[in-house]
Amino acid sequence: MKTTDTLAMEMAWNHSPWGIVAIDREGNVCSVSPSFERCIGMSRSSFIGMSEADFIFQLDLPVIDHLRVDVASGCIRAIHYVRRRVTRQEYDMKQIAEKLRAPLASIYGFTELLLTQQYDDGTRSNLTSAIIEQVEVMAFVINEKLDLNAQSSSTASQDGSSLS
Amino acid sequence: MKKVLVVDDQENIRTVVRLALRDRFEVSEAKDANSALKSINNSLPDAIILDVMMSGSMSGFQLCEHIKQSDRLSGIYVILVTACGQVSDQEQGRALGADAYFVKPFSPAALEKHLHDALLWREA
């Protein structure tokens, strides 16, 4: 008959909000909780027998919270706790937003300065050139990261050369 | 004139801020956290405008924390400027002691006004 503690352990193992992975003394994955599949969206069975290094390599770490706990005794060497922080798509979109904000800041800044301050012709020319450069940086990020095809990007460009 | 140090690894952003502030502030620039620390040791600024994500060994968050934990430097008014638009990033900045937080893209005029008002209020 199972004790209350054993039942509680089983419940925690099966329903944890974190995926739990045990590493044996030989350094291989020996047990994977059912919650792992739910938390990470990857099959449990494919990890059994995998080395600890390979297991960590498989994790998409930028989007996953990961904690490793050493175990001092017994047949288990370490326990890994993992859970998905954001989806890969959310992470990628955040990265793109950050890449676009930087050139946008230059464009906003230089444009506002040109509108509100008096500059000589040389400075105005330099600021305008910097704006065009930053527009090209934005176009590159959009084309590369948002995967627009060459045809649509050249259509968006005035002359089909500098921004495509 | 109040002294402002602009710390950003992007020259364009440093230029935008310098041009926006130069009429009312003495502006110096640093392209990373280590250069910023050298500059701060040479001449203590009244305010620092600090990019969060810089290349180099120390991020803007780390430099902000260093400044705010130092008895000598903690009085410097720190404005974090970042491409991270998420509320959690702003909360982290506040937790580290930043006095204000601007998300890129930002209005240089608004930044200049904020800095002017903040330093004026501190003097009063």
Per-residue pLDDT of chain B (124 residues; tens, 9 = 90+): 899 999 999 999 999 999 999 999 999 999 999 999 999 999 999 999 999 988 778 889 999 999 999 999 999 999 999 888 777 777 888 888 899 999 999 999 999 999 999 998 887 7
**Peptide bond connecting B105 to the previous residue in cis, omega within 30 degrees of 0:** yes
Structural domain boundaries of chain B?
2-123
Instruction: Check if B86 contacts A (Cβ < 8 Å).
Output: yes
* pLDDT at res. A147: 67
ipTM over 0.90? The verdict is no
Q: What is the pTM of this model?
A: 0.69
Task: Tell how strand B2-7 and strand A76-84 pair up.
Answer: unpaired
pLDDT recorded at residue A163: 45
B16, B85, B103 member nearest A109 (Cβ): B16
Question: How far off is chain B from A152, nearest CA to CA, in Å?
Answer: 26
Domain at B2-123, CATH class: alpha beta
Q: Given this model, what pLDDT does residue A151 score?
A: 46
Looking at residue A89, its pLDDT comes to 78
Q: Which residues contact B55 (CB under 8 A, 6 or more apart)?
A: B9, B32
Q: Which residues of chain A have pLDDT under 70?
A: 147-164
- Closest by CA to B16, choosing from A136, A121, A130, is A130
Confidence (pLDDT) at A148: 56
pLDDT of residue B101: 92
Architecture of the domain defined by A89-156: Orthogonal Bundle (1.10)
Domain boundaries, chain A: 12-85, 89-156
Please indicate whether, in this complex, the C-beta atoms of B104 and A110 are within 8 angstroms of each other. Answer: no
CATH of the domain spanning A12-85: 3.30.450.20
